[in-house]
Amino acid sequence: MALHLDSKVPLGPIQEKWDKHRFSVQLVNPTNKRRFRIIVVGTGLAGAAAAASLGELGYRVQAFTFHDSPRRAHSVAAQGGINAAKNYRNDGDSVFRLFYDTIKGGDFRAREANVYRLAQLSNQIIDHCVAQGVPFAREYGGLLDNRSFGGAQVARTFYARGQTGQQLLLGAYQAMARQIQAGTVELRTRTEMLDLVVHEGRAVGIVVRDLLNGDIRSYAADAVVLATGGYSNVFFLSTNAKASNATAIWRAHRRGAAFANPCFTQIHPTCIPQSYDSQSKLTLMSESLRNDGRIWVPVAAEDPRPPEAIPEAERDYLLERRYPTFGNLVPRDVASRAVKAVVDVQKGVGPLRNGVYLDLEESIGRLGADAIQERYGNLIDMYSRITGEDPYRTPMRIYPAPHYTMGGLWVDYDLMTTIPGLFCIGEANFSDHGANRMGASALMQGLADGYFILPVTIGGYLAPHLANPVPPRAHGAFVQVEAEVLDRSQQLLATRGSRSVDWFHRQLGKLMWDQCGMARSRTGLEQAASQIPALQAEFAKDLRVLGDHDSMNQSLERAGRVADFFELARLMCADALHREESCGGHFRVEHQTAEGEAVRDDTRFAYVAAWEYSGPDTPAILRPEALSFEHVKPAVRSYS
Partner 1 sequence: MKLTLQIWRQPNSRTRGAFVTYQLEDLSQHMSFLEALDVLNERLLGQGEEPVAFDHDCREGICGSCGVMINGQPHGPEPATATCQVHLRSFADGDLVVVEPWRAAGFPIIKDLSVDRSAFDRIIEAGGFVSVPTGSAPEANLVPIPKPAAETAMDAAACIGCGACVAACPNRAAQLFVGAKLTHLNSLPQGKPEQATRVLAMVEEMERFFGSCTNYAECEAACPKGISIDVIARLNRDYISAKLGASALSGK
Residues 159-188, interacting with partner 1 (CB under 8 A): 160-161, 163, 166-167, 170, 173-175, 177-178, 180-181, 187
User: Closer CB to partner 1, residue 212 or residue 345?
Assistant: 212
Residues 498-537, interacting with partner 1 (CB under 8 A): 498, 500, 502-503
What is the β-pairing status of strands 202-210 and 315-316? unpaired
Q: Which of 17, 42, 53, 512 binds partner 1 (CB under 8 A)?
A: 53
Is 32 a binder of partner 1 (CB under 8 A)? no
CB of 424 to partner 1, least distance (A): 20
Nearest CA to 34 among 61, 58, 63? 58
Residue 623, SS3?
strand
Compute and round to an integer the Cα radius of gyration of the chain. 24
User: Closer CB to partner 1, residue 23 or residue 276?
Assistant: 276
Q: Which of 31, 90, 278, 530 binds partner 1 (CB under 8 A)?
A: 278
Q: Measure Cα distances from 570 to 272, 427, 519, 566, 594 in Å.
A: 28, 20, 17, 7, 31
Q: Which of 17, 60, 74, 117 binds partner 1 (CB under 8 A)?
A: 74
| Length of the chain as a residue count | 640
The answer to whether residues 189 and 73 touch, using CB atoms and an 8 Å cutoff, is: no
CB of 593 to partner 1, least distance (A): 37
Is 70 a binder of partner 1 (CB under 8 A)? yes
Is 189 a binder of partner 1 (CB under 8 A)? yes
Nearest CA to 199 among 478, 486, 482, 612? 478
Written as one string, the DSSP assignment of 80-132 is S-EE----TT-SS--HHHHHHHHHHHTTS-S-HHHHHHHHHHHHHHHHHHHHH
CB of 198 to partner 1, least distance (A): 30
User: Closer CB to partner 1, residue 30 or residue 365?
Assistant: 30
Q: Which of 15, 279, 523, 628 binds partner 1 (CB under 8 A)?
A: 279
Is 283 a binder of partner 1 (CB under 8 A)? yes
Determine which one of 322, 332, 437, 561 is catalytic. 332
> Torsion angle, CA of 464/623/200/31, rounded to 10 degrees?
-20
Q: Measure Cα distances from 426 to 96, 102, 500 in Å.
A: 22, 16, 32
CB of 233 to partner 1, least distance (A): 11
Q: Which of 23, 24, 30, 276 binds partner 1 (CB under 8 A)?
A: 276
What is the β-pairing status of strands 157-158 and 82-83? antiparallel
The answer to whether residues 610 and 258 touch, using CB atoms and an 8 Å cutoff, is: yes
Q: How many residues bind partner 1 (CB under 8 A)?
A: 81
CA distance 111 to 92: 24
Is 100 a binder of partner 1 (CB under 8 A)? no
Determine how many CB atoms are found less than 10 A away from the CB of residue 507. 17
Stretch that binds partner 1, among 8-16, 121-129, 202-210, 326-334 (CB under 8 A): 121-129
CB of 617 to partner 1, least distance (A): 30
Is 403 a binder of partner 1 (CB under 8 A)? no
Stretch that binds partner 1, among 280-288, 317-325, 433-441, 473-481 (CB under 8 A): 280-288
Across the chain, which distance is largest between two alpha carbons, in Å?
A: 76
Is 67 a binder of partner 1 (CB under 8 A)? yes
Is 242 a binder of partner 1 (CB under 8 A)? yes
Is 138 a binder of partner 1 (CB under 8 A)? yes
CB of 63 to partner 1, least distance (A): 12
Q: Which of 18, 264, 296, 451 binds partner 1 (CB under 8 A)?
A: 451
- Secondary structure element (H or E) that encloses residue 268, with its range: strand 265-271
Beta bridge partners, 196, equal 206
CB of 75 to partner 1, least distance (A): 10
Q: Which of 3, 27, 56, 420 binds partner 1 (CB under 8 A)?
A: 56
Q: Is 332 a catalytic residue?
A: yes
CA distance 331 to 437: 8
Residues 295-314, interacting with partner 1 (CB under 8 A): none
In sequence order, which residues have a C-beta less than 8 Å from that of residue 248 and are 6 or more positions away?
41, 42, 193, 196, 226, 228, 428
User: Closer CB to partner 1, residue 242 or residue 541?
Assistant: 242
CB of 362 to partner 1, least distance (A): 26
User: Closer CB to partner 1, residue 315 or residue 506?
Assistant: 506
User: Closer CB to partner 1, residue 229 or residue 331?
Assistant: 229
User: Closer CB to partner 1, residue 163 or residue 288?
Assistant: 163
Is 455 a binder of partner 1 (CB under 8 A)? yes
Stretch that binds partner 1, among 408-416, 481-489, 496-504, 618-626 (CB under 8 A): 496-504
What is the β-pairing status of strands 223-226 and 422-424? parallel
Written as one string, the DSSP assignment of 451-487 is IIIHHHHHHHHHGGGTT-PPPPTTSHHHHHHHHHHHH
Q: Which of 352, 386, 537, 636 binds partner 1 (CB under 8 A)?
A: 386
CB of 26 to partner 1, least distance (A): 19
User: Closer CB to partner 1, residue 55 or residue 348?
Assistant: 55
Considering Cα of 307, then 311, then 317, then 320, what sign does the dihedral take? Answer: positive
CA distance 39 to 193: 11
Nearest CA to 260 among 403, 435, 490? 435
Q: Which of 97, 128, 340, 561 binds partner 1 (CB under 8 A)?
A: 128
CA distance 412 to 423: 9
Is 140 a binder of partner 1 (CB under 8 A)? yes
Residue 210, SS3?
strand
Is 155 a binder of partner 1 (CB under 8 A)? no
User: Closer CB to partner 1, residue 496 or residue 522?
Assistant: 496
User: Closer CB to partner 1, residue 169 or residue 528?
Assistant: 169
User: Closer CB to partner 1, residue 103 or residue 563?
Assistant: 563
CA distance 53 to 179: 9
Q: Which of 29, 212, 377, 526 binds partner 1 (CB under 8 A)?
A: 212
Written as one string, the DSSP assignment of 195-247 is EEEEETTEEEEEEEEETTT--EEEEE-SEEEE-----GGGGSSSSS-TT--SH
CA distance 199 to 259: 20
Residues 545-564, interacting with partner 1 (CB under 8 A): 546-547, 551-552, 554-555
User: Closer CB to partner 1, residue 71 or residue 586?
Assistant: 71
Is 141 a binder of partner 1 (CB under 8 A)? yes
CA distance 503 to 509: 10
User: What are the φ/ψ torsions at residue 613 (nearest 5 degrees)?
Assistant: -70, 140
CA distance 373 to 369: 6
Q: Which of 29, 69, 468, 640 binds partner 1 (CB under 8 A)?
A: 69
Positions marked active-site: 332
